[in-house]
Structure 1
Amino acid sequence: MTKTRIAFLLLPVLLGACSYGRTVNNDEYTDDSRRARVRGRLNGSDGVLLLGTDRTGRNGQDDGTGTGLGVNAYLWRAALNTLSFMPLSSADPFGGVIITDWYSPPAAEGRERFRVTAYILGRQLRSDGVRVSVFRQELRNGTWQDAEVAASTGPDLEDKVLAEARELRSQTASN
């Protein structure tokens, strides 16, 4: 009876070892400059990640990114700078997500508020590397109601983030 229990408990470990160290080719773990190797993946490419992602190259050397961020450092810093006028709710530099808290502009006199979510989509500084979603609410009859946001608001913020990222990169290059 105890041998059966031990075998049952060791089964996930043995199955996980079947895919140890294999190369993953989906966008979740790779970019154009390198291939990440996933260790300890259980049951295919969408399985459970047991031990994390190996960030070293095939020869055991570091992949050279050196930023410690999961996303482009210029886009990350530029997005934080661009949204700095709003209170920050959360920021995940490895997932590339910045979420602000509700912000009411002084001109709105407390009748409308905005919230922004910015997504940094990769490790390269590209024009499609950032997405910004803007949410707006209006105060009606004492309750906050969702309201339409101008279609150009998100793309305008994206353009400001990209311009700031280019400026940060040029400042770094000139130093």
Structure 2
Amino acid sequence: MRTVGLTLSLRSLAGLLTIFLSLSALGGCSSLNPFSDDEGETSANQSVTPPATTAGQVAAQSGAPANPFMWQATLEHVGFMPFQKVDDQEGVIVTDWYIPPGAPLERFRLDVAFSSRALRAEAISIDVFRQELNSAGQWFDAPSSPEVSRNMIDSIIARALVLRQDSGAL
């Protein structure tokens, strides 16, 4: 009985320690905050070249408009969709139509564009296109919630920050 209680306490302590260390590592880095109002943050001080093993290496070497960590995170985030165009020189990713398995009467397509190498929300735009299938078997345009794009950008930035931290480039 005593060992079980001690094991649970150690597991809880280890979990809390992991969360605390993660938050303190990110909290101390104001340049990682994509919502910071710090006027000193520019795309020049946000550019960090990742290790040669990441897919963002080509973008970093070519001077492409996308931050290499955001580029990699975006590819990972939308990788379940078929790609129509992936151009790291232009900083553009265009997907083909994707029909979710649980919703065969609607489909989605994304246009992703990068405007700078900054690791910030303002450096990426995502246009979400949605269509629905009518009873005649024809696809027609349907509105897509702006929340979808914002949530995707938030997820991409969160993943890019992890990739940046894992690269040791902090």
Does structure 1 retain, via aligned residues, the 8 Å contact 2:70–2:156?
Answer: yes
Given the two structures, how large is their TM-score scaled by the length of structure 2?
A: 0.62
Q: CA deviation at 1:151?
A: 2.1
Following superposition of structure 1 onto structure 2, how do residues 114-133 of structure 1 map, counting pairs within 5 Å? 114-133=108-127
Q: CA separation in 1, counterparts of 2:143 and 2:108?
A: 11
Uncovered stretches (5+) of structure 1, i.e. residues with no partner: 1-30, 34-64
More helix by share: 2
Deviations 1:30-83 (A, max 9, x none): x854xxxxxxxxxxxxxxxxxxxxxxxxxxxxxxx9522402111111110100
Q: 1:66 to 1:107 in 2, by over 3 A?
A: closer
Percent of aligned pairs sharing the same letter: 35
Which of residues 149, 152, 157 is equivalent to 1:157? 152
Partner of 2:142: 147
Q: CA separation in 2, counterparts of 1:116 and 1:102?
A: 8
- Opposite residue 112 of structure 1, the aligned amino acid is E
More strand by share: 1
Structure 2 residue matching 1:152: 3-state secondary structure = helix
Q: CA separation in 2, counterparts of 1:153 and 1:167?
A: 21
Partner of 1:68: 62
Given the two structures, how large is their TM-score scaled by the length of structure 1?
A: 0.60
The aligned length equals 114
Uncovered stretches (5+) of structure 2, i.e. residues with no partner: 1-41, 45-58
Matched, 1:84 2:79: yes
Partner of 1:138: 132
Q: CA separation in 2, counterparts of 1:165 and 1:66?
A: 14
Which of residues 81, 94, 98 is equivalent to 1:99? 94
| Regions of 4+ moved over 4 Å | none
Following superposition of structure 1 onto structure 2, how do residues 17-56 of structure 1 map, counting pairs within 5 Å? 33=44
Q: CA separation in 1, counterparts of 2:116 and 2:92?
A: 11
Higher relative contact order (CA 8 A, sep 6+): 2
Does structure 1 retain, via aligned residues, the 8 Å contact 2:131–2:140?
Answer: yes
Coordinate RMSD, CA, aligned: 2.3
Partner of 2:19: none
